[in-house]
Amino acid sequence: MLSGFFGIYLIFGSVNGDYFDIINMFYYFSCAFIFVLALAGNISNTNMKNIQFTTILSLIFTSLISINDWIFSHSMVTADNYFYRAEGIYDNPNLLAQNLLLLLPIAFNYIKKQKFYSFIAISLFIITLIISQSRGTILTSLIILILFLFGDKYFSNRLKWPLSIFILVIAYMILINLGDDYLIRFKLTDDFSNLRVEALLLGIKSFSTSLFGIGIGNTSENLLSLSSHNIYIHILSEIGVVGLFILLIILFWLLKTWIRAIIRDLKFTYYLIPIILMTGFFTHNLLTNLVFYLILTIIVFENSTLKEVENEK
């Protein structure tokens, strides 16, 4: 399925695409395909637990590195009305927040077996998210945390509200100490969207100009020199009408898998699919992000393992 998607994307995206960007996309897809094959070929029930625990540790230490970098870098900034955004190992605040959010369901899934590490990971994630100032990820995270607190059977009714209040108090205390410079980015001013809305509209317009899209690498070739920052519009812009059919198939599969996760209590899949769907509205780089392919492979494994158990019965 993955190889078919990559092949179709490259074929139709090459019709009007830029030569060097096509080669670059081929390189990314090749790396992702090899990565998924290697991961899928070595996953078992035994080492899956190790992969999950290692992922939680990665979430913890990535957050700690980001917080440390922010503390020392922020202290060197002297400009007025400027808030230094945490970038961590990615040198990009939005990518940092996005990748941490993609890994977060591991902490949810592991909370019964590793309470300490899971709660540490979730707490550090919240702190790192706040200092990253990634607005789309903050919005998505709020929805997911509410889903986690009120939708997970692990928490009793006595725990849900105290935990919610605790998270809100911690977030409030952090925001108060960060000062007014932090809140400037969230004020509804004329440049609130950083031209994202305009870029999104241009992306939609470019989809209607060509049956095969404008091609790989050409989504930022517009008056704003910006891509749509939306994976759905990005795919439609690059490969045209074919992208619409691909998106419908993918969305159907994700919805079907999510409903199955609810019925069968597959926690990782239950939390991750809403994250993927919502994150797609705020970024266009999921197709070149190896973290995305990591968690996608775990989704497939979680569901295929359950099918094997049911067949044995």
pLDDT of residue 234: 85
In sequence order, what are the residues at sequence separation of 6 or more whose Cβ sits closer than 8 angstroms to the Cβ of residue 284?
A: 219, 227, 228, 229, 230, 231, 233, 234
Alpha-carbon Rg for the chain in angstroms = 20
Record the tokens describing residue 7, joined without a space. 């092949």
Cα gap 119→110, rounded to integer Å: 10
Cα gap 311→199, rounded to integer Å: 49
Cα gap 178→56, rounded to integer Å: 27
Q: HEC profile for 26-63?
A: HHHHHHHHHHHHHHHHHCCHHHHHHHHHHHHHHHHHHH
CB atoms within 10 A of CB 172: 10
pLDDT of residue 109: 79
Phi, psi of 219 (to 5 degrees): -70, -20
pLDDT along the chain (313 residues), means of 10: 87 87 92 89 72 87 92 64 80 92 87 82 90 87 81 66 72 64 58 61 71 78 65 86 88 90 85 91 87 88 63 44
What are the sequence ranges of the domains in the chain? 1-42+195-313, 46-192
